[in-house]
Amino acid sequence: MKKNLGIFFLFFFILTQKVVSSENDIYKKIDVFGEVLEKINEQYVDEINQSDSMDSAINGLLQSLDPYSSYMTPEMYQEMQTETSGEFGGLGIEVGMESGLVKVISPIDETPASRAGIKAGDYIVKINDTQVQGKTLSQAVDLMRGPVGSGIKLTVRRSGEKKALTFNIIREIIQVQSVKTDLLEKNIGYIRLTSFNENSAKQIKKKINELKKNKQLKAYILDLRNNPGGLLSQAIKISDFFLNNGEIVSTKSRKKSENKKWFAQEGDLANGKTLLVLINYGSASASEIVAGALKEHKRAILLGENSYGKGSVQSIIPLKNDGAIRLTIAKYYLPSGKSISEIGVSPDIEVNEESNDFRIKTKTDNQLNYAIKLING
């Protein structure tokens, strides 16, 4: 008994020493960080703004974790809250970091960036005359912000183009109308979803009920192209509109409290009518949850291009300074258990954009035209 107690106390002592040692290492590195900041402030060739330097350091720590974690200053956090509610100022693009470069996840429909011709997958290399490489994501976003009505020049690199492309854009108030509908060919209910904000599911339900009044209606097209995602809760509700049962999505994390599953409730709002879902490389996050769930339950045919591959869940965590951090807290998985991180959701029918003048829901939209022909023959 005494021997066992001795082993226990020895193990406890070693474990405690390891914890103390680990904490000491952290405190030593914090001291080193303070010393480095002091040396920079005293000896760097140019005068620096210490507050900006601290913001950059915090953001650098978060972005070293993954491309989607980041720091928001109080001003950025306030702008983000406005953006999620459906109206904000800017260019109308969702961006992220990839290998130290700012990458366009998706342009938003009918915004300055979309009209100028910015595309999902473009790499922004220069903002006005400032090189972007070496900047943090928040620094690049700050450079793109400016007064409504002011101009900005973006230089981008695009796959398949030998030379960099330049776009002159005027900043506007961005009013996000996340849901648009139309009746195509007198018998197809077209639903265009550009983002998943707090009103998206409510709007889609209303629009579907309006479309159902047409007695000739035979099918629906749900257009998720260039939809960068948004609120997980809205993706779950919208998926549920078209499913009678089964798992929609699950999340897994190192914290058991974040391991969750969501299931569809009985009742298909579309009454089982044919459903085609359009996706492309600009379809990310919440878009991939909806597309993946509908595909795996064989409720919809996916048409277009492979999606972006953003399979992680970020939580906005407010801070004492009225700023916030966007932190990846879990990864989400499709009903089959498959993760779409860096893989994306593949279409059942692959149809690529055919021209550089391609615009969604215009004569150049060969993907939508293909979907219409598939339904009506």
Polymer length in residues for the chain: 377
The yes-or-no answer on residue 310 being catalytic is yes
How far from the centroid of its chain's Cα atoms is residue 208's Cα?
25
The yes-or-no answer on residue 285 being catalytic is yes
CA angle 316, 123, 110 (to 5 degrees): 70
Q: Which of 285, 287, 307, 312 is catalytic?
A: 285
Q: Helix or strand or coil: residue 303? A: strand
Q: Which of 94, 296, 305, 353 is catalytic?
A: 296
- What are the DSSP calls for 138-192, one per residue? HHHHHHH---TT-EEEEEEE-TT-SS-EEEEEE-EEEE---EEEEEETTTEEEEE
CA distance 110 to 315: 28
Smallest CA-to-CA distance from 193 within 222, 230, 233, 231 is with 222
Query: Six-digit token pair at 234?
Result: 């809205």
CA distance 218 to 260: 36
Q: Any idea which residues carry the catalytic annotation? A: 285, 296, 310
